[in-house]
A and B are shown apart, each in its own frame.
Chain A
Amino acid sequence: GQSLEQPSEVTAVEGAIVQINCTYQTSGFYGLSWYQQHDGGAPTFLSYNALDGLEETGRFSSFLSRSDSYGYLLLQELQMKDSASYFCAVVPDSNYQLIWGAGTKLIIKP
């Protein structure tokens, strides 16, 4: 089977740092993507890791360890507008389809 696991909910304080983990078990693996979705909105792409290591894009960073089948999204200097659901998604093969995690709801408190 193919599965991705991520926490259902994470709570953090404005200005803090939060890490959202994602472990995966898939038949193939090209890379790990992260998406953000605000309530009532469409998912928007945040980052992609194909190789081990850290990718940084402004306040957001994403990490991948292929040997551990594990990745995380790191959000720094949290702002209230970061309150959203975050999905990890695996590209399992060259068919370009994504396998999606269940999503993590990030709640930010002032």
Chain B
Amino acid sequence: SAVISQKPSRDICQRGTSLTIQCQVDSQVTMMFWYRQQPGQSLTLIATANQGSEATYESGFVIDKFPISRPNLTFSTLTVSNMSPEDSSIYLCSVEDPERRGGYEQYFGPGTRLTVT
């Protein structure tokens, strides 16, 4: 298993500004995932972050808008840049179970609830 913390837990930001979300894991993991989830909706994968390589972004998400850092095997950040109200959402990081490769069992952080005004 893995325990994940995220900071901040919530924030209210003004449009045009940027927010960096931190994700810390209590064990070393190869793959970390960043998701976005609107209340009552499913999860949408933003990008996959591997340590030592560039993040892989899903269709509709670009590095200029959502830059990701992955400096080591226990930490990652997601920045939401030049925010607009459409970026208001819950942002979640997750990791694969470090003891079971395959991605089918992921552990999630508590999420960051972002409101852009």
Q: Which of B40, B97, B108, B111 contacts A44 (CB 8 A)?
A: B108
Return chain A residues, CB-CB under 8 Å to B40. Answer: 105
Return chain B residues, CB-CB under 8 Å to A101. Answer: 42
CB-based nearest A residue for B47? A97
| Stretch of B11-19, B80-88, B98-106 contacting A (4+ beta carbons < 8 Å) | B98-106
Q: Is the CB of A100 within 8 A of B109?
A: no
Tell me the bound Cα distance from A21 to B12 in angstroms: 38
Q: Residues of B within 8 Å of A, CB-based: how many?
A: 24
Cβ distance A53 to chain B, nearest Cβ, rounded Å:
16
Cβ distance B113 to chain A, nearest Cβ, rounded Å:
9
Cβ distance A62 to chain B, nearest Cβ, rounded Å:
12
Which A residues are closer than 8 A to B by beta carbons?
A: 30-31, 33, 41-45, 48, 50, 87, 89, 91, 95-98, 100-103, 105
Which B residues are closer than 8 A to A by beta carbons?
A: 31, 33, 40-45, 48, 92, 94, 96-97, 101-111
